[in-house]
């Protein structure tokens, strides 16, 4: 890509709130453990009414320390407004007008462009096998998959190994820092935002857009399609956050932080397996792409 602007990642940022609703039950269990107040015995099943889960368990949940919360909530409100009146309607239109097969090919193509970046960051994290998988996937899908339109490597058993510089810094034990909501980009942390900056600075080394000399028009078209693809894949999850009864800001914050820590192996989230069914979530690749900010190439190149 020839330049970098944040707005193409809008759909990825605002879609994050929909991805990991399993955090709701996990968070409530933590709250119940911290305040084990006795509940009247009304015949309810063990482990639900007794632990305070009565449909409003999120009301008093505070969760992670959030020193930037006042500013974050302001930015979050702006992002929610943008999703309601721009991103989601565009995603619905994209879903209804572009055939599913074409959408899948576009998604495959965009993810394939991010494989070189995935490889570099996986190697930096000491994940040599994952980095080599990224390299093999890129060459196989670029050649036999018609420039990545078809995931031939995946069909051959080479699963995707997404990564980013935020995870690299985490592997190097750089502190996470405060939670941060970025305009249009959505949830992040100081560490992850630093990773995004590093991705921008090194874009000429890892981005196929620069390697091929693609113009601005191609870059804009690709990044818009990327954002719409991710938001479209998550349209079916819109009702989950509403049904949870959670504070949307807290829900997004806790889910994002939990997922990023889980990627680094810092959290043993027992409830994760209950929510890790690809059929329920539209595929684990789509879920991880949303949480990582928009797919393999991140929409920043």
Q: What is the mean predicted confidence (pLDDT) over 1-27? A: 36
Q: Which tens digit of pLDDT belongs to each residue from 80-101?
A: 999 999 999 999 999 999 898 9
Q: Please list the alpha-helical segments (H only) found in 100-215.
A: 100-113, 115-124, 128-143, 152-155, 165-171, 190-201, 203-206, 208-211
Helix H or strand E segment including 286: helix 284-291
pLDDT at 2 over 50: no
Q: CA distances (Å), 193 to each of 51, 115, 180, 199, 232, in order?
A: 37, 20, 8, 10, 25
Residue 79 pLDDT class (50, 70, 90 cuts)? very high
Share of the chain above pLDDT 70, in %: 67
Quote the pTM value. 0.67
CB 291 within 8 A of CB 19: yes
**Rounded Cα gap, residues 180 and 69, in angstroms:** 8
Residues 6+ apart with CB under 8 A from 82: 10, 14, 184
Each residue of 108-158: pLDDT tens digit? Answer: 999 999 999 999 999 999 999 999 999 999 999 999 999 999 999 999 999
Mean pLDDT of the chain: 74
- Predicted confidence band at 215 (pLDDT cuts at 50, 70, 90)? low
Task: Please give the Cα distance from 203 to 173 (Å, whole number).
Answer: 24
Question: What pLDDT does residue 78 have?
Answer: 96
Instruction: Report pLDDT digits (tens) over 225-271.
Output: 788 888 888 787 777 878 877 888 998 899 899 999 999 987 544 44
Give the range with max mean pLDDT: 12-16, 119-123, 202-206, 275-279. 119-123
User: Cα angle at 19 between 132 and 256, to 5 degrees?
Assistant: 75
SS3 215: coil
Is residue 188 classed as helix, strand or coil in its secondary structure?
strand
Q: What is the pLDDT of residue 183?
A: 93
């Amino acid at each position: 890509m020839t330049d970098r602007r944040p707005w193409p990642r809008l759909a990825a940022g605002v879609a994050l709130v929909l991805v990991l609703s399993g955090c709701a039950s996990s968070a409530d269990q933590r709250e119940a453990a911290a305040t084990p107040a006795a509940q009247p015995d009304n015949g309810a099943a063990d482990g639900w009414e007794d632990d305070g889960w009565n449909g409003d368990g999120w009301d008093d949940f505070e969760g992670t320390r959030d020193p930037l919360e006042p500013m974050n909530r302001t930015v979050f409100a702006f992002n929610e407004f943008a999703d309601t009146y721009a991103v989601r309607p565009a995603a619905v239109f994209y879903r209804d007008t572009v055939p599913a097969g074409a959408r899948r090919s576009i998604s495959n193509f965009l993810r394939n462009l991010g494989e070189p970046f995935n490889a570099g960051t996986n190697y930096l994290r000491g994940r040599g096998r994952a980095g080599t998988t990224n390299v093999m996937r890129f060459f196989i899908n670029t050649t036999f998959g018609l420039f990545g339109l078809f995931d031939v490597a995946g069909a051959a058993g080479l699963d995707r190994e997404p990564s980013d510089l935020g995870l690299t810094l985490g592997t190097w034990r750089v502190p996470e820092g405060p939670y941060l909501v970025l305009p249009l980009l959505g949830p992040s942390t100081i560490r992850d935002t630093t990773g995004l900056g590093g991705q921008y600075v090194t874009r000429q080394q890892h981005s196929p857009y620069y390697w091929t000399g693609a113009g601005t028009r191609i870059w804009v078209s690709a990044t818009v399609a990327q954002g719409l693809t991710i938001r479209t894949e998550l349209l079916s999850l819109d009702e989950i956050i509403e049904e949870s009864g959670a504070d949307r800001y807290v829900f997004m914050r806790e889910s994002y932080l939990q997922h990023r820590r889980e990627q680094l192996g810092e959290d043993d989230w027992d409830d994760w397996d209950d929510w890790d069914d690809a059929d329920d979530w539209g595929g684990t690749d789509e879920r991880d792409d949303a949480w990582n900010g928009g797919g393999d190439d991140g929409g920043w190149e």
